[in-house]
Amino acid sequence: MSGAGGASASAADDTLAGRLAEVAGRITDAAAEAGRGIEEITTIVVTKFHPASLVAELAELGVRDIGENRHQEAQAKAAELAALDLRWHFIGQLQSKKARQVRAYASAIHSVDRPALVDALRSDEASVDCFVQVNLTDDPGRGGTAPDALESLVERVLETPGLRLRGLMAVAPLDAPARPAFARVRVLSDRVRRLAPDAHDLSMGMSHDFRDAIMEGATHLRIGTAITGNRPVAG
């Protein structure tokens, strides 16, 4: 593999910049292998549990898209770093009562998974990008709508002011290979695009499975530890 030499050389550079470059190289290689343009893929660096200073370092290195999964933490970092030109992606389970507050700083909400949350996000203000999250497991606790409720949830998003549907979001199941799971999301996306032809984005792929996600058409990768290093333990 032609990229392997470069990748292993930079893997030795275990700094934030080194890891960022190494992951970017792997994304470029995977996109080439999939016959896709790199410009159709957005890398969101997931910084949950890390301090705002790490986000500032990432911004210095040219990162613009930041992912967070807990509202209070995301809100505080967004406020502290308001002077930087960052796009905040909310990727965690979201309580309806926090929906309006998340709208205030988020460019995109990747975890829209139930009608009550859609209703809580309704607004007459500028539209926020959103992704409908699909649950690929049988465990309702993992977040995301069941696939058989997908169309009705999509319709709800489409008829709600203040939301712009970008596509689907999914997390691969822990106990099964990622690639078939992502292929399934791609099929679900075809169903969504019958209702919303522009909603073709796919938010999928994390540190350990982003190559598979790129192969199956991911447009938004959510990558944490491969770039940031291990997360600090909470509490």
Name the site residues for ligand PLP (rule: CB under 6 A).
Answer: 46, 48, 69, 91-92, 171, 206-207, 222-226
Distance of alpha carbon 209 from alpha carbon 235, whole angstroms:
28
Q: Closer to ligand PLP at the Cβ: 118 or 178?
A: 178
Distance of alpha carbon 27 from alpha carbon 21, whole angstroms:
10
Q: How far is CA 138 from CA 143, 174, 176, 209, in A?
A: 10, 12, 12, 20
Q: Closer to ligand PLP at the Cβ: 14 or 125?
A: 14
* Smallest distance from ligand PLP to CB 218, Å: 12
Taking CB atoms, the residue at the shortest distance from ligand PLP is 224
* Smallest distance from ligand PLP to CB 23, Å: 10
* Smallest distance from ligand PLP to CB 46, Å: 4
Q: DSSP 3-state assignment of 171?
A: coil
Tell whether the torsion through CA atoms of 172, 99, 79 and 51 is positive or negative.
negative
Q: How far is CA 235 from CA 49, 51, 87, 228, in A?
A: 10, 13, 27, 19
Q: Closer to ligand PLP at the Cβ: 109 or 192?
A: 109
Find out whether 110 and 144 touch, Cβ atoms under 8 Å.
no
Q: In one letter, which amino acid is 146?
A: A
* Smallest distance from ligand PLP to CB 4, Å: 21
Distance of alpha carbon 168 from alpha carbon 203, whole angstroms:
6
Angle at CA of residue 66, ends 64 and 69, nearest 5°: 170
* Smallest distance from ligand PLP to CB 111, Å: 7
Provide the strand spans (E) within the chain.
42-46, 65-68, 87-90, 106-112, 128-134, 163-170, 201-203, 220-223
Q: Closer to ligand PLP at the Cβ: 92 or 217?
A: 92
Q: Closer to ligand PLP at the Cβ: 157 or 206?
A: 206
Q: Closer to ligand PLP at the Cβ: 47 or 160?
A: 47
Q: Closer to ligand PLP at the Cβ: 123 or 137?
A: 137
| Residue 177 falls in which region: left (phi positive, over 0), alpha (psi -120 to 50) or beta | beta
* Smallest distance from ligand PLP to CB 124, Å: 29
* Smallest distance from ligand PLP to CB 49, Å: 9
